[in-house]
Amino acid sequence: MVQPPAPPARTSIVIVSRHRPQALERCLTALSRQDHPAIEIVLVADPGSVDICPDLPLKRCVFDQPNIPAARNEGIALSAGEVIAFIDDDALAVPGWASALTAPFADSRVLAAAGFTRGPDGLSWQARAERLTASGQTRPIGLDGAALLPVEGGEPVNTIGTNCAFRRDALLRIGGFDPAYGYYLDESDVNMRMAARFPQALTAVVPQAQVIHGLAPGADRKAGGVPGDLTRIGRSAAIFARRHGGGPGWVRESQRRRLLRHMLAGRLDPCAVRPLLATLERGLAEGRRAVPAPLPPWDRPDPPAFRPLPMRPLHEVFLAGWHWQARSLRARAAAAVAEGALAMILLLTPGFLPHRMLLTEGGWWEQRGGLWGASRPGDSPVFLTSWTKRISRERGNLLDLSAK
């Protein structure tokens, strides 16, 4: 007799946000249209943002310190799900994300899950499957599909904070996130401590669980992802390496390359490179002086009762046309969204413009680009095809997001 599939794990989704209300609102819009039947959203945000989207029944916590790990711990304390997922406020969960990311937890050996993350254009990869070294560096894992992976040679699978999930009990047993990091490598530190505590556990790599991660400005970052200060990155890298027995020197070359990319793209003044690298050295020196202590046992009270989002069945509406038809197509998409549909628009131009995908303020997904432009990771810059074949291909690209 075939056993029925286990019901999806009750899942708490924690979002930390600080002074980015516009990005946060779009993030919540995408989450409110997930198909997972048992999710609650825990919002940890500054006083000006914590009451955003008042129509959504969220658990809300006011927190206005520039310390993401500490804020995530506040979110954990309010989370009543068996699984806790994390997403950044400048990220958009594609349709089906929550269901795909949490499905592997039906296997009791799985304590963590990592999805695939797209860049701000919505179509290039920002992060995929990686392993984590004791220095905080990552190395890619070649995978063709989903996998359950153990710790290998002391290296766990890396999870990034904008697209990951953990079994709640395991997070509590390692004490949650470490506020010593401020930000950067804090989730990698969780991976290392969890691997040490549960060496036989598995991490699920879930390519179908995708988010589109933006580059919204923050405390240490300007528009377009241009760094404004590298002190906290250097400090975190030094603390991580000291705790886990690695060396932080790699971060110098990594951040130098990052700055040069921004400089060559015209986003960073060449005269700013040396001062920024000086802030990195200051952070490394601070981190070397820090003494990373073990986290105390988790002793927070039990969370409030699980508060699920009301789920409504979503039917799919796919629309396609030339960019000069955008007004009428968007009106139809808006009407479909108002009726409870998952609406998607493909807008094409007669050229080679690379494609971009985003979630609009109206609540529909929109992909824009040239008839012969690249639209998927690995595409050639020139993708010769017919109108009919292009529509068919991109319809699959958009609708596959909700079918995974």
Tokens of 82: 């068996």
CATH number for region 315-403: 3.40.50
> Which residues have C-beta within 8 Å of that of residue 273, sequence separation ≥ 6?
256, 259, 260, 263
Q: What is the pLDDT of residue 398?
A: 66
Q: Return per-residue pLDDT of the chain as tens, 404 residues.
A: 545 567 789 999 999 999 999 999 999 999 998 989 999 999 999 999 999 999 999 999 999 999 999 999 999 999 999 999 999 999 999 989 999 999 999 999 999 999 999 998 887 889 999 999 999 999 999 887 899 999 999 999 999 999 999 999 999 999 999 999 988 999 999 999 999 999 999 999 999 999 999 877 777 778 878 889 999 999 999 999 999 999 999 999 999 999 999 999 999 999 999 999 999 999 999 999 988 788 999 999 999 999 999 877 678 899 999 999 999 999 999 999 998 888 999 999 999 999 998 899 899 999 999 999 998 877 888 988 899 999 998 887 666 655 44
pTM over 0.75: yes
Q: Which pLDDT value is given to residue 400?
A: 60
Instruction: Return the residue matching tokens 């999710």.
Output: 39
Q: What is the CATH number of domain 11-216?
A: 3.90.550.10
Residue intervals in the chain for CATH 3.90.550.10: 11-216
Under a CB-based contact definition with an 8 Å cutoff, are residues 244 and 150 in contact?
no
- Please tell me the number of Cα atoms within 13 Å of 315 on its side-chain side: 5
- What single letter denotes the amino acid at residue 163? N
Q: Residue 222: its pLDDT value, please?
A: 82
pLDDT attached to residue 132: 96
- Encoding tokens for residue 182? 């401020």
Asked if 367 and 345 touch (Cβ cutoff 8 Å), the reply is yes
Question: What pLDDT is stored for residue 263 in this prediction?
Answer: 93
Tokens 């198909």 locate to 35
Q: What is the structure's pLDDT at 2?
A: 47
Is the Cα dihedral 19, 58, 99, 188 positive or negative?
Answer: positive
pLDDT of residue 192: 97
C-alpha distances out from residue 171 to 79, 83, 142, 248, Å = 11, 10, 27, 26
**Could you give the residue range(s) of every CATH 3.40.50 domain in the chain?**
315-403
Read off the tokens for 144: 């063709």
pLDDT score of 178: 96
pLDDT, tens only, 136-160? 999 999 887 899 999 999 999 999 9
